[in-house]
Chain A
Amino acid sequence: MSVSEKGQIVTANRLRDGIAVFLTRSGQWSEKIDEAALALEPQAAAALESRAKLDEEATLVTGPYLIDAERRDGGIRAAHIRERMRTLGPTVRLDLGKQAEGTAGAFAAPEGV
């Protein structure tokens, strides 16, 4: 049984092309949710958010926000179906989006369907 760490990550859309991105530990924005920095405490989450806001001002990303997530089985799983959808692409066009480009998250959006 794998241990899961619960916390928060920061996500945003890249300004120039709208692609969903995630803030990493090194302060980069990655298209892959698995590279997101997971804040396990509120202070750490607030720090991530502040860094994200600086990047918003620097016009790298737009609209950063915190989402609930957990590290599980070596990957990061967003808590909400909507956020998992952003890590994949349309479920009705598996040939489009991150799921087709090798940047997908490891967890299905609508689980059990």
Chain B
Amino acid sequence: MYRYDEFDHQFVRERTAQFRDQAERRLKGELTEDEFRPLRLMNGLYLQLHAYMLRVAIPYGTLSGRQMRQLALIAEKWDKGYGHFTTRQNIQYNWIKLEDTADILAALADVEMHAIQTSGNCIRNVTTDHWAGAAADEISDPRPIGELLRQWSSLHPEFSFLPRKFKIAVTGAPHDRAAVKVHDIGLRMHKSDTGEIGWEVIVGGGQGRTPIVGVTVRDFLPEHELIGYLEAIMRVYNLYGRRDNKYKARIKILVHELGAEKFKSEVEAEYARKPQATTAVEERELKRIEAYFAPPAFEKLPRWSHAFEEAKVKNANFARWARNNLGPHQVEGYTIVNISLKPEGGIPGDASADQMRLMADLAGKYSHDELRVSHAQNIVLAHVKKDDAFTIWQALDAAGLAAANYGLVGDIIACPGLDYCALATARAIPIAQSISRKFADIDKQEEIGPIKLNISGCINACGHHHVGHIGILGLDKKGEEFYQITLGGSSSESASIGTILGPGFAGHQVPDAIEKILDTYLQLRNPGEEFLSAYRRVGAKPFKEALYAAA
């Protein structure tokens, strides 16, 4: 993975010193809150219901064991012993003090981390496939581009005061695990017949109040043109994105209001107008970065691991976990371990400092010291020998990290919601917990099969409910929490926005409603047909009838 050189180190240290100065000026009253707010947001510091919240960047969701251990230390030293992994591959701390923040940023800088631009009207964390560099279906690892874009977008002088936040995602696999179609810019890798790598550029996707799938503006942009072309898109957005209404300020609104064709022609005109700069330095920089993402030294192993197969025979719980939580690796004899942070009845995406350290240790021993954070708020050990899977599982099991529900209905994605967030209209976590408890039986979860259930506590959709196969949106009805259910969303390469089934439900009614939906699916599905396929085949009607039929 990427390692800072002297320049990267100096950059984050100077940025930390700059924030320390800004925070001091704020505390002395030399800056008003209105002046300070955009500055602190650009360092990831929010003011939430109970305290400040700090969102630390985990670039393209990759971190080392050492970095994970530092995150654990920060949780203990400056927070309340835990952190929350988010749907954009970052980590959040909920109990932060403004007066401690500069020290926390310094502790992050010590391990090549930061909280730069994890909030604010600027370019946010570039996210990617949590299986990058390991997945069997991948064309090529997209993370070098992720790192190139991270540097390019950091403190970009032209694009730091955009109409609104800006989110970029990149994927290197045909099966998209990075939700590129519902990002402001999504980049999808393709390989031509001649073996050249090019990027499909998708613009104007997004969720929130006005969810929409993005439009493709370029089918195959050569890699060396990426930065120039992205700058053209950013400039069009910076100049013409709406600034009169916060809820209409994302690039998706601009694309929608201009129309895809007109938007594309604006971008192309801007791109043509830019002076033709030599891109030699950017190409050399990309090569330099690529060297950091060279695959680790894999052993030559047989596809069949005797230890692995034997352990499955002897231990049914391990066999189940192996069945559900392992992903197909590019290299024979290896596997991708997905650690579910969704224990039965637990808080999705939360991990204690001890759990973080355990995962760091396992990464160090068994996965080339590298971890990933997924959009589903889980942790990935990407390069594990099948021979080691059982030992890892035993360690996870002892730490409460062996929930065998990866990708199943118990693997719920939920934002912090009204329990933490100043923007929320309803709680999300208790809903996740009650559904999790209702479907505690893993046999039942396996019967249902792969499914994505997403819960958002407000219309900002940080739980990504619009692209859940089942989505739940928490609203406020006359001061009471109230939940709307959507079906049929997808964040994959065949992205779709879920449709609302009908009137909403009180919190305590939600688990039964989900059960009715899933029972309906089980009754009408074809053999081997997963939930999303079944929904797309039969439509909402059978589910509406099941949910809203008179008792």
A complexed with B: yes
A binding-site residues for B, Cβ under 8 Å: 13, 15-20, 56-59, 62-63, 79-82, 85-86, 89-93, 96-98, 110, 113
Give chain A residues whose Cβ lies under 8 Å from the Cβ of B96: 18
**Nearest CB in chain B: distance from A58 CB, A:** 7
Structural contact, B97 and A17, CB atoms closer than 8 A: yes
A63 touches B47 (CB 8 A): yes
Q: Would A92 and B50 count as touching, CB distance under 8 A?
A: no
| Cβ contact of A82, chosen from B97, B98, B418, B433, cutoff 8 A | B418
Return chain A residues, CB-CB under 8 Å to B480: 81
Write out, one digit per residue, whether chain B residues 72-99 have a CB within 8 A of any chain A CB (1) or not (0). Answer: 0000000010000000000000011111
Q: Which residues of B contact A59 (CB under 8 A)?
A: 26-29
Residue B479 CB within 8 A of the other chain: yes
Q: Give bound CA distance, A53 to B520, whole Å.
A: 56
Contacts of A98 in B (CB 8 A): 50
Determine whether the beta carbon of A96 is less than 8 Å from that of B95: yes
Cβ-defined contact, B419 with A62, below 8 A: no
Q: Which chain B positions have C-beta within 8 A of A63?
A: 33, 47
**Would A92 and B49 count as touching, CB distance under 8 A?**
no
Q: Is the CB of B508 within 8 A of A56?
A: no
Q: What is the distance, in angstroms, from A22's C-beta to the closest C-beta of chain B?
A: 14
Is B48 in contact with chain A by the CB < 8 A criterion? yes
Complex contact B95–A62 (CB within 8 A): no
Mark interface residues in B456-478 (1 if CB within 8 Å of A CB, else 0): 00000000000000000000100
CA distance A91 to B424 in the complex (A): 14
Least CB distance from A2 to B in Å reads: 21
- Residue pair A113, B508 in contact (C-beta under 8 Å): yes
Q: Does B252 contact A (CB under 8 A)?
A: no
Q: Let me know if B430 is at the binding interface, CB within 8 A.
A: yes
From residue A94, how far is it (CB to closest CB) to chain B in Å? 11
Dominant SS among interface residues on chain A: loop
Contacts of B418 in A (CB 8 A): 81-82, 85
Cβ distance A20 to chain B, nearest Cβ, rounded Å: 7
Minimum C-beta distance from A111 to chain B (A) = 9
Q: Are A19 and B430 in contact (CB under 8 A)?
A: no
Q: Are B98 and A96 in contact (CB under 8 A)?
A: no
Can you report 23 residue pairs joining A to B where beta carbons are below 8 Å apart?
A: A15-B26, A15-B27, A15-B98, A16-B27, A16-B99, A17-B51, A17-B97, A18-B48, A18-B50, A18-B52, A19-B50, A19-B51, A56-B33, A59-B28, A86-B50, A91-B430, A92-B429, A92-B430, A97-B50, A110-B427, A110-B507, A113-B481, A113-B508
Set of chain A residues within 8 Å of B419, measured between Cβ atoms: 85, 90-93
Q: Within the assembled complex, what's the spacing in Å between the Cα atoms of A15 and B476? A: 29
Number of residues in B with C-beta < 8 Å to the partner?
32
- Interface pairs A-B: 10 shortest CB-CB: A90-B419, A18-B52, A17-B97, A18-B51, A59-B29, A92-B429, A16-B99, A62-B33, A86-B49, A92-B419
Q: Which residues of B contact A91 (CB under 8 A)?
A: 419, 427, 430
Q: Could you tell me the distance in whole angstroms from the C-beta of B501 to the nearest C-beta in chain A?
A: 22
Q: Give chain A nearest CB distance to B225 CB in angstroms.
A: 44
Check B52–A17 contact: CB distance below 8 A: yes
Q: Given A63-B47, A110-B427, A113-B508, output 9 extra A-B contacts at Cβ < 8 Å.
A: A15-B98, A18-B97, A80-B479, A85-B418, A90-B419, A91-B419, A91-B427, A92-B419, A93-B419
**In the docked arrangement, what's the CA distance between A96 and B94, Å?**
11
B159 beta carbon closer than 8 Å to chain A: no
- Contact A16-B420, Cβ < 8 Å, known A56-B33, A63-B47, A91-B427: no
Neighbouring A residues of B427 by C-beta, 8 Å: 91-92, 110
Within 8 A of A (CB), among B96-126: 96-99
**Given A16-B27, A79-B479, A81-B481, A90:B420 Cβ within 8 A:** yes
Which residues does chain A contribute within 8 Å of B98, judged by CB atoms?
15-18
Taking a contact as CB atoms under 8 Å apart, the answer to whether A62 and B47 are in contact is yes
Q: Which residues on the B side are within 8 Å of A16 (C-beta)?
A: 27, 97-99
Is B347 interfacial (CB 8 A cutoff)? Answer: yes
B49 touches A110 (CB 8 A): no
CA distance A17 to B23 in the complex (A): 12
> What sequence of 0s and 1s flags, for each residue 293-323 of chain B, a beta carbon within 8 Å of any chain A beta carbon?
0000000000000000000000000000000
B31-58 Cβ-contact flags toward A at 8 Å (1 or 0): 0010000000000000111111000000
Inter-chain contact B49/A85, CB cutoff 8 Å: yes
Complexed CA–CA distance, A56 and B26 (Å): 11
- Are B51 and A81 in contact, CB atoms less than 8 angstroms apart? no
Residue pair B507, A113 in contact (C-beta under 8 Å): yes
List B476-507 residues whose CB lies under 8 Å from chain A.
Answer: 476, 479-481, 507
Query: What's the Cα separation between A61 and B75 when bound, in Å?
Result: 25
Which residues of chain B are within 8 angstroms of A57 by Cβ–Cβ distance? 29
Give the nearest-CB partner of A96 in chain B. Answer: B80
Question: How many angstroms between the C-alpha atoms of A38 and B507 in the bound complex?
Answer: 32
Select the residue from A91, A96, A98 with max chain B CB neighbours within 10 A.
A96
CA distance A91 to B52 in the complex (A): 18
A residues near B347, Cβ cutoff 8 Å: 92-93
Is B50 within 8 A of A89, CB to CB?
A: yes
Report chain A residues within 8 Å CB of B433. Answer: 92
Within B1-45, which residues are at the interface with A (CB < 8 Å)?
26-29, 33
